[in-house]
Structure 1
Amino acid sequence: MKTETQDVCATVIRNLAILLSCVYIATGAAAAQLANEMSPPCELSTLEGEPVVNVQALKGEVVYLDFWASWCPPCVESFPFLNQLHHEFSEQGLRIIGVNLDEKMADANVFLGKYGADFAIAADPTRQCAKNFDVIAMPSSYLIDREGIVRYIHRGFRSGETDKIRKIVEQLLNHQP
């Protein structure tokens, strides 16, 4: 015979499953809206607040835009892969930009001192760029082709998906406008 506690637990689990399904569907829909569209406006600064780059000005390069934060465990895992991509493909035209979303730049600097980044690091202190790209998970990565079109969106980081990302980078680099 079921107890009242078991009924409550079953209801909570069922509602949580529905909620997670909705979040998954919504994030996929948002990502699908941006894929194969022009890169949205995005102006970034250095961690010290100096202007550094306007993503739209990088046409002609393949851009890997990676939004991250110091408190994000998958971001820690992604940095060695991003460093590898940088060393492997930067001379072929890949520009990796790690966009930090920490509220305190000191947190970003501690993270970078501990884990290192061989690629460009920028800040989005107003989070306007993150809003324009519809960043809802950490890390969130966007591969932008030489014409400025978002060709691939990846949320989170799983080491088992690095081969797929590497192949997409190679395809974008090999496609000359």
Structure 2
Amino acid sequence: MSFKRHWLALLLSLLGFSVQAESVKEGQLAPALNLPLLGAQADESMSLEALRGKVVYLDFWASWCGPCRLSFPQLEGLRQELGPRGFEVLAVNVDEFEDDALAFLDAVPVTYPVVRDADADSPARYGILGMPTGFLLDREGVVKRVHQGYRRSDGEKLRKEIVQLLESTE
């Protein structure tokens, strides 16, 4: 899906129109991802491949996303608790301006890796239609759950799914 078509689909979905998008589905291998770390030097990046062997929550977010203010602290807590067992969060920021993302992280700090995709290539490849959208990946990089939006009550449900994946491969 082209960049313009992706953002048109996002706008239409926000306005309540039903939009069919090519999206990554449960059971598929997550598309490759290699992006610069937010606020880092030009040569510092993070790839999804580097996290192979861990259960990963791949979180697409933006500074203007209200539910992201709920999800970030909960994802941080899950990473602190379950990281030693092989869980990682990789957050993909899609803000046009890096300063917006950095200001968000000043207000809602996290210790997990945050990468930046200002061109929105990866959200288009994943078929993202709203923020936040998360993909829970098993240790082989297969999508086990797609999670759109975020509510306070989602944290415990997500924790159970992560623990189940961790236990099935320990």
TM-score under structure 1 length normalisation: 0.79
Partner of residue 157, structure 2: 164
Between the aligned partners of 1:67 and 1:50, the Cα distance in structure 2 is 22
CA-to-aligned-CA distance 1:112-165 (integer Å, 9 cap, x gap): 111111211111133222112111110010111011101001011011222211
Could you say what secondary structure the match of 1:116 adopts? coil
Q: Distance in 1 between matches of 2:97 and 2:33?
A: 20
The structure whose residues are more often helix, as a share, is 1
In structure 1, the residue matched to 2:36 is 45
What aligned pairs does 1:109-148 form with structure 2 within 5 A after superposition? Answer: 109-148=102-141
One-letter amino acid of the structure 2 residue matched with residue 146 of structure 1: R
Letter in 2 for 1:36: G
Structure 1 CA distance, aligned partners of 2:131 and 2:138? 22
- Choose the corresponding residue for 1:92, options 77, 85, 98: 85
| Paired residue secondary structure (2:124) | helix
What is the aligned partner in structure 2 of residue 55 from structure 1? 48
The percent identity for this pair of structures is 35
Q: Matched residue of 1:82: which SS?
A: helix
Aligned residues: 155
- Other-structure match for 2:16: 20
Task: Indicate the RMSD between aligned Cα atoms, in angstroms.
Answer: 2.0
| 1:11 matched residue in structure 2 | none
The structure with the larger Rg is 1
Amino acid at match of 1:46: L
4+ runs deviating over 3 angstroms: 48-51
- DSSP-derived class of the 2:147 partner: strand
Is the CA contact 2:37–2:113 (under 8 Å) kept in the aligned structure 1? no
Q: Structure 1: 5+ residue runs without aligned partners?
A: 1-18
Match of 1:71 in 2: 64
Shift of 1:59: 1.8
Q: Cα distance, 1:22 vs. partner?
A: 2.6
* Greater mean deviation of Cα atoms: 48-57 or 73-82: 48-57
- Whether the 8 Å CA contact 1:42–1:128 is kept in 2: the answer is no
How far is 1:57 from its partner?
3.6
**Is residue 35–residue 153 contact of structure 1 (8 Å, CA) maintained in 2?**
yes
Matched AA of 2:124? K
Contact 1:44–1:129 (8 Å) recurs in 2? no
Paired amino acid for 2:106: G
CA distance in 2, matches of 1:100, 1:120: 11
TM-score when normalising by structure 2: 0.83
